[in-house]
């Protein structure tokens, strides 16, 4: 039998298989490279609106980068913000506020950097030309700032006017205008600025009905004439032609001009409410004004007739913005109010932003999806979906951590604060992770049992939350309490506990919080802190007006002491003997007792700062107190002498805790501050910085790609 001749160059089966697999290898490599590049730049998951930090639920948690110390992701802005503007690209924007603050972003607000404004005056309004280089900001004391380089440098100019205070200023927009900042020549505040397309022509309005105009980009200003002079003016807007404009202000005042402001005539608004903002479409016919009492006025004929629209709120509204279609618009105001309309204002609906801060300005891009709002406490919020959801872009000055507790192992701990924030650590506070809590209410106090599984947290609106699994899940307990709760304590059995709060509120539970019973405090004063001895009988509470309460029977009866001066007492602690105790509060007050609270003596703190929290070790000698301005005080002799420790922060500190060794301690406070010490407070250090790592999906893609 003759074998068939083999073709010399025919590929073997293995070679054919290898040649066929190479395209798949290259495809896998391309996918892996693309996944790596994306994972390196992927934005983190959404942060809860308002000030709270939230944990992402499964499976959403697989899609976003892993974060350590997420509470430090957002920049903390310690001042109120008054105005915001963005370019059409939605990436470059600026915001201004108190103390001459100017912030700029290059990435749509994901990060904000301070610019040097050369003024300590509060800035109330900012505008930029489309080139993103030339811009103006105005504010208190007649300050006018201008830039030619996108805000890298700001300069002040001086105009030759001495007219009364100016509130908003509006400019046309060309370019040689605004190369430096301008001062109006008045000490009154300037509240708004806008530029039209040539940048030469501008207007400013303000106190006493003053209206000023410039034809040269602000190098000189001249007074314009209007019919009345009494009501102050708060906002001004002009069309692109520079002829037609409107100004609004006190007492429902609406003024209009057809000739660039040479003549202003009063229009009938039909309201006496303060008007804070006015906006008109390019046709000069359709416009809106907003102000006090939730007032929203609209016109279809250039202001000859103004009609009130139903806003559905009584909150003062500060700003209004509409898209070019005249259908979609937004208004913002007090108490976190954001209203939106899809039909030109015939119907307005509230949007949820999750803050109670006063919102002062709103801006939207032409797509009607991307928008921003700014307000008190450094608040900057952004939306990508027309306002259906809003996310915080800054931590803000009001981001508070109000209470902290650590277990005896010094590793496991929890901290709580505003916006429903609950953070947990497994490594002694070097890294903190958000826990899911189901509320945006401010949480004021937290406590855990020694097992690290059972814990309780209380806060605004009578909120009480409990966990059985170390905080992995939190459930609301039904208390029937409506008043804000400031402090919670539980005995080691996990059954008996007490909460105190507004209006002298005291409630107690005998079953771990499943049911709560009201106790009679005998005082209408707010109560800020409560503590009980292990026997569950003897307890104390402190609060407003120097109130000190004590009970010998688990709270069935409370007796009220009132000390002079009647300062707010913020925190109280007692040793296990029930005799030695301390309380701290307003004006650096430190009180001490050696007889179970029958008598109290003043100790010298050496500070006028408000003290918020105090703790003592079991020896009754070593103790610490924290408070305003980063204050940390320590004593080695039971409080006969107190010495300041260096905290490294000026933020208000709200809570402090120490382990029994007296070496390891932690303090928390304003701005998400978390401090730790390993040497009894001789040195304090911040928790580890924020860090971000590739999302879980990336690791899985790396595994699947080769397979």
- At 234 the three-state DSSP class reads strand
| DSSP string computed for 7-43 | PTTPPPHHHHHHHHHHHHHHHHHHHHHHHHHHHHHPP
pLDDT tens digits for range 406-420: 999 999 999 998 878
Name the burial class of residue 52, with classes exposed (0-12), middle (13-18) and buried (19+) by CB atoms within 10 angstroms of its CB. buried
What is the arithmetic mean of pLDDT over 382-396? 82
Selected residue with higher pLDDT from 656 and 390: 656
Backbone angles phi, psi at 250, to 5 degrees: -65, 150
In degrees, to the nearest 5, what angle opens at C-alpha 290 toward C-alphas 289 and 291?
135
Residue 263 scores a pLDDT above 50: yes
Provide the pLDDT for residue 4: 44
Provide the pLDDT for residue 58: 56
- Kind and range of the H or E element at 501? strand 497-501
pLDDT band at 182 (very low <50, low <70, confident <90, very high): very low
Q: Is residue 217 part of a domain?
A: yes
Residue 54 scores a pLDDT above 60: no
Average pLDDT, the chain: 83
Residue 386 scores a pLDDT above 80: yes
Residue 578 scores a pLDDT above 90: yes
The rounded distance, in Å, linking the Cα atoms of 298 and 407 is 59
Q: Is residue 380 part of a domain?
A: no
pLDDT band at 49 (very low <50, low <70, confident <90, very high): very low
Residues 655 and 684 in one domain: yes
Residue 112 scores a pLDDT above 90: no
Provide the pLDDT for residue 413: 93
Q: Is residue 171 part of a domain?
A: yes
- List CB contacts of 501: < 8 A, sequence separation 6 or more: 458, 462, 481, 483, 484, 485, 486, 487, 526, 527
Backbone angles phi, psi at 40, to 5 degrees: -70, -30
Q: Is residue 523 part of a domain?
A: yes
Residues 203 and 128 in one domain: yes
Residues 559 and 700 in one domain: no
Residues 23 and 108 in one domain: no
Backbone angles phi, psi at 694, to 5 degrees: -55, 145
The rounded distance, in Å, linking the Cα atoms of 653 and 647 is 10
At which of 245, 267, 289 does a domain end? 267
- Two tokens at 500? 């105190």
Provide the pLDDT for residue 620: 97
Residue 469 scores a pLDDT above 80: yes
Provide the pLDDT for residue 521: 95
What is the arithmetic mean of pLDDT over 349-357? 84
Residue 175 scores a pLDDT above 80: no
Provide the pLDDT for residue 534: 96
Provide the pLDDT for residue 165: 41
The rounded distance, in Å, linking the Cα atoms of 309 and 197 is 31
Range of the domain at 261: 95-267
Provide the pLDDT for residue 162: 41
Place of tokens 């003290």: 611
The rounded distance, in Å, linking the Cα atoms of 167 and 143 is 11
Provide the pLDDT for residue 50: 38
- Beta carbons within 10 angstroms of residue 253's beta carbon: 24
What is the arithmetic mean of pLDDT over 262-269? 93
Residues 54 and 155 in one domain: no
- Two tokens at 287? 């416009």
Provide the pLDDT for residue 397: 38
- Tell me the chain's radius of gyration from C-alpha atoms: 31
The rounded distance, in Å, linking the Cα atoms of 488 and 9 is 84
Residues 480 and 503 in one domain: yes
Residue 583 scores a pLDDT above 70: yes
What is the arithmetic mean of pLDDT over 426-442? 77
Q: Is residue 52 part of a domain?
A: yes
pLDDT tens digits for range 681-701: 999 987 655 566 676 666 666
What is the arithmetic mean of pLDDT over 17-28? 62
Helical packing angle, 13-41 and 696-704, nearest 10° = 170
Strand ranges (E), 533-576: 539-543, 547-551, 559-562, 569-574
What is the arithmetic mean of pLDDT over 483-489? 96
Residues 211 and 136 in one domain: yes
pLDDT tens digits for range 624-651: 999 999 999 999 999 999 999 999 988 8
pLDDT tens digits for range 548-560: 999 999 999 999 8
pTM above 0.85, yes or no: no
At which of 267, 287, 314 does a domain end? 267
Residues 540 and 664 in one domain: yes
At which of 267, 289, 308 does a domain end? 267
Backbone angles phi, psi at 570, to 5 degrees: -100, -25
Residue 191 scores a pLDDT above 80: no
Provide the pLDDT for residue 158: 56
Q: Is residue 515 part of a domain?
A: yes
Residue 199 scores a pLDDT above 80: no
Q: Is residue 618 part of a domain?
A: yes
Residues 476 and 585 in one domain: yes
- Beta carbons within 10 angstroms of residue 665's beta carbon: 27
Selected residue with higher pLDDT from 5 and 94: 94
**In residues, how long is the chain?**
707
What is the arithmetic mean of pLDDT over 299-324? 97
Residues 527 and 663 in one domain: yes
What is the arithmetic mean of pLDDT over 174-179? 32
- List CB contacts of 87: < 8 A, sequence separation 6 or more: 93, 128, 130, 132
The rounded distance, in Å, linking the Cα atoms of 610 and 594 is 24
Residue 10 scores a pLDDT above 80: no
- Two tokens at 163? 């007219």
Provide the pLDDT for residue 61: 61
Strand ranges (E), 533-659: 539-543, 547-551, 559-562, 569-574, 581-585, 590-593, 601-603, 611-616, 623-627, 632-635, 643-645, 653-658
The rounded distance, in Å, linking the Cα atoms of 227 and 295 is 24
Distance between first and last Cα of the chain: 45
pLDDT band at 219 (very low <50, low <70, confident <90, very high): confident
- List CB contacts of 707: < 8 A, sequence separation 6 or more: none
Residues 542 and 601 in one domain: yes
Selected residue with higher pLDDT from 217 and 521: 521
Residues 527 and 407 in one domain: yes
* The total number of structural domains that make up the chain: 3
Selected residue with higher pLDDT from 665 and 171: 665
Q: Is residue 566 part of a domain?
A: yes
Residue 615 scores a pLDDT above 90: yes
Name the burial class of residue 138, with classes exposed (0-12), middle (13-18) and buried (19+) by CB atoms within 10 angstroms of its CB. buried
Domain with 662 in it: what CATH number? Answer: 2.130.10.10
- At 682 the three-state DSSP class reads coil
> HEC states along 318-374?
EEEEECCCCCCEEEEEHHHCEEEECCCCCCCEEECCCCCCCEEEEEECCCCCCEEEE
């Amino acid at each position: 039998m003759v074998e068939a001749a083999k073709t010399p160059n025919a590929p073997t089966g293995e070679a054919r298989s290898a040649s066929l697999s190479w395209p798949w290898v290259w495809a896998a490599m391309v996918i892996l490279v693309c996944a790596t590049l994306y994972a390196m730049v992927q934005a983190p998951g959404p942060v809860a609106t308002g000030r709270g930090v939230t944990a992402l639920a499964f499976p959403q948690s697989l899609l976003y980068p892993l974060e350590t110390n997420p509470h430090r992701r957002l920049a903390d802005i310690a001042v109120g913000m008054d105005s915001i503007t963005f370019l059409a690209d939605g990436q470059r924007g600026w915001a201004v506020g108190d103390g001459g603050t100017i912030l700029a972003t290059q990435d749509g607000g994901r990060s904000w950097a301070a610019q040097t404004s050369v003024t300590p005056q509060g800035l109330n309004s900012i505008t930029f030309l489309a080139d993103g280089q030339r811009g103006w900001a105005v504010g208190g004391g007649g300050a006018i700032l201008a830039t030619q380089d996108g805000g890298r440098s700001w300069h002040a100019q001086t105009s030759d006017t001495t007219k009364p205070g100016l509130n908003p200023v509006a400019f046309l927009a060309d370019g040689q205008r605004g190369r430096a900042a301008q001062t109006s020549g008045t000490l009154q505040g300037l509240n708004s600025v806008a530029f039209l397309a040539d940048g030469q022509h501008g207007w400013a309005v303000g106190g006493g009905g003053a209206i000023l105009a410039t034809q040269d980009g602000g190098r000189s200003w001249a007074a314009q004439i209007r019919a009345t002079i009494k009501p102050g003016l708060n906002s001004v807007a002009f069309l692109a032609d520079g002829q037609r404009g409107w100004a609004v202000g006190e007492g429902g005042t609406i003024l209009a001009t057809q000739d660039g402001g040479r003549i202003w005539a009063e229009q009938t608004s039909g309201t006496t409410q303060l008007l804070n903002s006015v906006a008109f479409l390019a046709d000069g016919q359709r416009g809106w004004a907003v102000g006090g009492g939730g007032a929203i006025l609209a016109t279809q004929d250039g202001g000859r007739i103004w009609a009130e629209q139903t806003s559905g709120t009584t909150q003062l509204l500060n700003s209004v913005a509409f898209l070019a279609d005249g259908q979609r618009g937004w208004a913002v105001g007090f108490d976190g109010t954001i209203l939106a309309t899809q039909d030109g204002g015939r119907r307005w609906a509230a949007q949820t932003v999750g803050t109670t801060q006063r919102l002062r300005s709103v801006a939207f891009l032409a797509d009607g999806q991307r928008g921003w709002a700014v307000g008190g406490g450094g608040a900057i919020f952004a939306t990508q979906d027309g306002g259906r959801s809003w996310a915080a872009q800054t931590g803000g000055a009001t981001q508070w951590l109000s209470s902290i507790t650590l277990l005896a192992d010094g590793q496991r701990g929890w901290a709580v604060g505003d916006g429903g924030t609950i953070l947990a650590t497994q490594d002694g506070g070097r890294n903190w992770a958000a826990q899911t809590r189901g509320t945006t209410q401010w949480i004021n106090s937290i406590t855990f049992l020694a097992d690290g599984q059972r814990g309780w947290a209380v806060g605004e609106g009578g909120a009480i939350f409990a966990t059985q699994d170390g905080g992995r899940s939190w459930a609301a307990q039904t208390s029937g309490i409506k008043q804000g709760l400031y402090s919670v304590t539980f005995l080691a059995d996990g059954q008996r506990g007490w909460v105190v709060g507004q209006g002298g509120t005291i409630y107690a539970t005998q079953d771990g919080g499943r049911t709560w019973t009201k106790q009679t405090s005998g005082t209408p004063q707010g109560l800020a802190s409560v503590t009980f001895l292990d026997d569950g009988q003897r307890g104390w509470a402190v609060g407003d007006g120097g109130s000190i309460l004590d009970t010998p029977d688990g709270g069935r009866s409370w007796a009220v002491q009132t000390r002079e001066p009647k300062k707010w007492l913020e925190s109280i602690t007692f040793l296990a003997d029930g005799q030695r105790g301390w309380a701290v509060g307003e004006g650096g007050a430190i009180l001490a007792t050696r007889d179970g609270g029958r008598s109290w003596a003043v100790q010298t703190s050496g500070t006028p700062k408000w003290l918020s929290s105090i703790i003592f070790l079991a020896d009754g000698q070593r103790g610490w107190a924290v408070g305003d301005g980063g204050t940390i005080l320590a004593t080695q002799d039971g409080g006969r002498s107190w010495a300041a420790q260096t905290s490294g922060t000026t933020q208000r500190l709200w809570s402090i805790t120490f382990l029994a060794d007296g070496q390891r301690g932690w303090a928390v406070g304003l701005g998400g501050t978390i401090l730790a010490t390993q040497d009894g407070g001789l040195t304090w250090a911040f928790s580890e910085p924020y860090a971000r790592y590739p999302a879980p999906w990336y690791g899985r893609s790396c595994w699947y790609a080769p397979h």
